[in-house]
Structure 1
Amino acid sequence: MEIAEIKQKLESYKAEGKTLFSTSSFQTHSLVMLHILSRIDNTIPIYFLNTGYHFPETVAFKDRIAEEFGLNVVETKSTMPRYMQKDHAGRLLFTSDPDHCCYINKTAPTGELLKTYDVWINGVRGDQSATRRAMDVEQEAPHNTIRFHPMLDWNMKKIFAYIREHNLPRHPLDAKGYLSIGCEPCTRRLDPEMQEREARWFGLNKVECGLHTDLVKK
């Protein structure tokens, strides 16, 4: 979608009395949607899912972007403290059951947000994975909410063209070889032959955390 179309769609949601929110991982490529939203309506809450495992650089970058873009950034996290996030052998879940770890720290807290809002503005792109490529710009989500994917037809080339045009900052880990940045234990540097999402949960046959598989109405 073009920026004018995104603005028109958001205004139509608001005219219908719908409440809006967005989420962001505050990676470099996430900034395009955040920058667009800041220019359309910077009062829309942007939730940061604080898993407790983020790189310190990500947390600091989030604070910087919130200030520079004038965004209403809100932190949310799991109701389960980290000391309880262990398997029967006492190992932290990200080491033995990363799917459940993602559910506790990302999917469940976002599911709670869906009970409060009508529209989830989500920055997924079709070029990121087959799962995301199969999505529609507007989809039903649990709790009678709508997922709105304004960046679905954007690709990496268009994303970075926008970043250059508007001189947006870059996540500090970009320079160290990270392209897709999530939780520190489950993120590695991108090798030249790897696709963007392959640097996440490397070797675990996992490319999604559940936000874009579980929180879509079947």
Structure 2
Amino acid sequence: MTAPDLEQRADHIVEQIDRFVADGKRVVLSSSFQTQSLPLLHLVSRSRGVTVYFLDTGYHFPETLEFRDQVTEQLGLDVVSLHSATTKAAQVGPHGHLLFAEDPDYCCYLNKTAPMETVAAASDIWISGVRRDQSETRRQLDEFVVRSDGTTRYHPMLDWTEPMIADYQERHDLPRHPLDDRGYVSIGCAPCTRNIPGSDRGGRWFGMEKTECGLHVDLVR
């Protein structure tokens, strides 16, 4: 894709977000602050009135937290870190192990889905950077989805590809997550993420029959 075409797509996203804000909508963005999150975060930084939510599970790599802080300052973002209402002491399975080891689906629910659901219920527009080329589940999503609670999910990057993300990243000299150089392609919580070069999301929930945290699966047609 040529630079003008890519920038035209980017401008369209900013214009759409600006319309939401101008219409008085409560607009939020959820972001994992990975390298591939940067193009959307950069676009959102051009539109005032959007709060960015980072789901702080308590299990993130220290590098991810440092990267979040770096990007927040560099782009001038309004970032709020969300935490689970359930303490880690209460997140223990029947065999006495933390839930990420015994029940990763419930662990994701308590630390990611439940906190974000509270925010979504109080918002009009929930922006997410999911892309169709990331997984079979995401391939089935639509650009706009109205949830059962009335909140509209907006997926502006849905048809962007890996090369487009990389191209935008380079053109705007955006920073990269420090774990990229150590072979991590998709970075989640430290206990469940492995550095599997070239596998895209294959390093997430490594060794488990799990590909999604639960934030997006209810939107599949």
TM-score normalised to the size of structure 2?
A: 0.93
Partner of 1:24: 31
Shift of the alpha carbon at 1:5?
A: 1.5
Q: Which runs of 5+ in 2 are unaligned?
A: 1-7
Amino acid across the alignment from 1:86:
V
Number of corresponding residues: 214
RMSD between aligned residues: 1.4
Contact 2:25 2:125 survives alignment (8 Å)? yes
The one of 139, 142, 160 aligned to 1:136:
142
Q: Structure 1 residue 174 and structure 2 residue 148: aligned?
A: no
Secondary structure (helix, strand or coil) at the match of 1:127 reads helix
User: What are the superposed Cα offsets for residues 154-210 of structure 1, whole Å, 9 maximum, x if unpaired?
Assistant: 011000001111111100000000010000000000144x3x111101111111000
Q: Structure 1 residue 51 and structure 2 residue 40: aligned?
A: no
Q: Equivalences for 1:41-190 in 2 at 5 Å?
A: 41=48, 43-190=49-196
Q: Structure 1 residue 202 and structure 2 residue 206: aligned?
A: yes
Q: Matches of 1:206 and 1:163 in 2, distance apart?
A: 29
Q: Matches of 2:68 and 2:197 in 1, distance apart?
A: 25
Q: Which runs of 5+ in 1 are unaligned?
A: none
Q: Matches of 2:79 and 2:158 in 1, distance apart?
A: 23
Larger fraction in helix: 2
Partner of 2:5: none
Shift of the alpha carbon at 1:217?
A: 8.1
Contact 2:131 2:138 survives alignment (8 Å)? yes
Contact 2:185 2:197 survives alignment (8 Å)? no
Secondary structure (helix, strand or coil) at the match of 1:39 reads coil
Shift of the alpha carbon at 1:110?
A: 0.7
Structure 1 stretches of 4+ with a deviation exceeding 4 A read none
Change (3 A) 1:176 1:38: same
Partner of 2:45: 38
Contact 1:23 1:122 survives alignment (8 Å)? yes
Q: Matches of 1:84 and 1:99 in 2, distance apart?
A: 16
Amino acid across the alignment from 1:37:
V
More displaced stretch, 137-146 vs 94-103: 137-146
Shift of the alpha carbon at 1:114?
A: 1.0
Contact 2:52 2:80 survives alignment (8 Å)? yes
Same amino acid, percent of matched pairs: 48
Q: Matches of 2:160 and 2:39 in 1, distance apart?
A: 10
User: What are the superposed Cα offsets for residues 130-152 of structure 1, whole Å, 9 maximum, x if unpaired?
Assistant: 11111111011241100000000
Contact 1:141 1:217 survives alignment (8 Å)? no
Partner of 1:10: 17
